[in-house]
Amino acid sequence: MVIGIGLDLVTVSRFARMIERYGERLLGRLFTAGERAYCAKYAQPAQHYAARFAAKEALLKALGVPHGLSWHELEVVSAASRAPQIHLSGRAAEAARQLGITRLLVTLTHERDLAAAMIVAEGGAD
């Protein structure tokens, strides 16, 4: 059963300007060390950062934007199959548990100056 959905779209060039302006202060606040390592290995890391930020925003929408979350409690990781997954911790994991969410499906995409993510939160019986 679908409990929540979230969709977000980010302009890559805008996100790149924010990275240029705020650098590691911004990246350290929004992304885990694992997310930063993943994005840094690409020729155009801003595309990957923007897609991961879109996933976090989409996840907040799917969860109903619980109060007091840290960006680090929402981590986008790539599975061995290279398909993205969301790992929750802390208040985010607790919010998902309280909503009855047992599975999060995520898809990311980026093309030229746009990055998007969609989250489907599932739980309960189908």
pLDDT, one tens digit per residue, over 26-38 is 999 999 999 999 9
Whether pLDDT at 118 is above 60: yes
Partners of 62 in beta bridges: none
Inter-residue contact 76 to 105 (CB < 8 Å): no
For the stretch 49-66, pLDDT in tens is 999 999 999 999 998 877
Estimate the crossing angle of helix 45-63 against helix 12-30, to 10 degrees. 70
For the stretch 63-113, pLDDT in tens is 887 778 899 999 999 877 778 999 999 999 999 999 999 999 999 999 999
For the entire predicted model, the pTM comes to 0.94
| CA-to-CA separations, 25 to 5, 18, 33, 77, 112, in angstroms, rounded | 30, 10, 13, 21, 25
pLDDT of residue 20: 97
